[in-house]
Amino acid sequence: MLMGKHLIAGQWVDGDKKFQNMPVSGSADSFAVGTPDLVDQAARAAEDAFWSYGYSTRAERAKFLRSIADQIDARGDDITAMGVKETGLPEGRLAGERGRTIGQLRLFADHIEAGNYLDRRHDEALPDRAPLPRPDLKMVQRPIGPVAVFGASNFPLAFSTAGGDTAAALAAGCPVVVKGHSAHPGVSDIVAQAILAAIKECGIHPGVFSQIQGGNRAVGQAIVQHPLIKAVGFTGSLGGGRALFDLCAARPEPVPFFGELGSINPMFILDAALDQRGTAIAEGWAGSLTMGAGQFCTNPGVAIVTEGSKAEAFGAAAAKALSAVGSQTMLTDGIAEAYHQGRDRVAGQEGVRDLLTTTCDLRNATPYLYATTGEKWLANEELGEEVFGPLGVIVTVKDADERLAVAKALQGQLTCTIHMDDADTKDGQALMPVLERKAGRLLVNGFPTGVEVSDTMVHGGPYPASTNFGATSVGTMSIRRFLRPVCYQNIPDALLPADLA
């Protein structure tokens, strides 16, 4: 059963104004509209909760995370049904995303229990050192305080209410205030119910989690500018993310804005690989490009190949594979409209030719494929802008030097991929120093859609892929975003945090 309200510090709070979700099928559901006043209530409750939750034991927080996972799992059928209704995503995709969400929570429980993330250090006192003695110094990572999280449109579970940002913040010891995404308020409602059940089961301060649904830009601005919010996690558009980033920087007390904003995730297909298995790579690219209607931040939108007959064959194979993909429902009307606009923008650029054109309207997406030259690509920055959906661009370069020039001209990316055979090793070696400066994750002979949740994963990169090149929003290292190092000099054990004593 949907509550249709905001969850503020353990209470379901209604509002005078309502908005409705946009179901693919079935009747719409009504939800209360958020306000800046609700933001203030949630932030104050989060600060109050921090004085207990921020100083709780790792075992207590691990139990809480596992309880949230269990409560989400118990509501699995309801979450899937609502997700299919709101987003048009298939049941299998939503079930898999729920498994990833649950897995993230349990992974962080294990991670904080192990304690390695604390980076504990100790320089013992040297009272007899000349010319000056050294004091006893200890260091440990400590939680920063209440964190704001913006739900993502394209991941109603894994990057939203109880997604990776929330899991990392709660694991660190930081209460969370979530701004639910209007694309899937029903899913967010059910997940919030699961979190509240875990709060009650574990006896946690209810201010540890609040969720505010809907609302205009003033609500988002109020969240990032509230003086009690100490960091912000965001996954979304470049324009929206950059506006919130600037607000965070303009605060009297600036706070970090961890935004994952956009990426074209280029693939460099080297000559021997193109010659030996160009068709297979093209078919794999088509599958990756159209997965989930192309609504993944790691969607590989651009393929770079050397001009010639093999490049033409690659384009023909990709067009054939893409033409077999039918129309897919996009997550929202707005995302579909932005996709159609992106298609028109690419198609209207000088030096771009059509390899596959289709027809789509309303909330539907069909694949498009275009080609241009390395020279035109380097001369036109608009060709390097993300189109969120199943649209691909093939860039044909004259030689290895122009390929390297294309790589150096790239903006920051989440991923960069090389397809190569042994004979391509020299060209691959030339690309690697460039690409590792451009992206947070590098792949060889694979496709970037599908992000493993693990200790080693980096989901981030130089701007505009993300606003903080030293952070990741996926994997256990993402907890570092919500911690800060504190040094304790000559502090008695009785006054030290439990993780140091």
List, by residue number, the catalytic residues: 260, 297
Q: Are strands 231-235 and 147-150 parallel, antiparallel or unpaired?
A: parallel
Cα 465 to Cα 485: distance, rounded to the nearest angstrom: 26
Helix (H) or strand (E) run with residue 179 in it: strand 176-179
CB-CB contact of 288 with 296 (8 Å) = no
3-state secondary structure 109-121: HHHHHHCHHHCCE
Other CB atoms within a 10 A radius of the CB of residue 92 amount to 9
Query: In this structure, are residues 469 and 460 in contact, taking their beta carbons and an 8 Å threshold?
Result: yes
Q: Report yes or no: 352 and 371 within 8 Å, Cβ to Cβ.
A: yes
Concatenating the DSSP letter of every residue in 401-469 gives: HHHHHHHHH---EEEEEEE--GGGHHHHHHHHHHHHHHEEEEEESS-S-S---SSS-----STTSBS-T
Are 53 and 175 in contact by the 8 Å Cβ rule? The answer is: yes
Short-list 18, 88, 430, 47, CA closest to 292 = 88
DSSP state of 301: -
CB atoms within 10 A of CB 443: 18
What is the number of other CB atoms lying within 10 angstroms of the CB of residue 204?
Answer: 24
- Sheet with strand 439-444: strands edge to edge: 353-356, 368-373, 391-397, 302-306, 267-269, 413-419, 439-444
122: left (phi > 0), else alpha (psi -120 to 50), else beta? beta
Q: Are 438 and 413 in contact (CB under 8 A)?
A: yes
Residue type for 499, please? D
Angle at which helices 58-74 and 76-87 pack, to 10 degrees?
70
Report the chain's terminal Cα–Cα distance, integer Å: 46
| Distances from the Cα of 340 to the Cα of 310, 354, 412, angstroms | 30, 15, 24
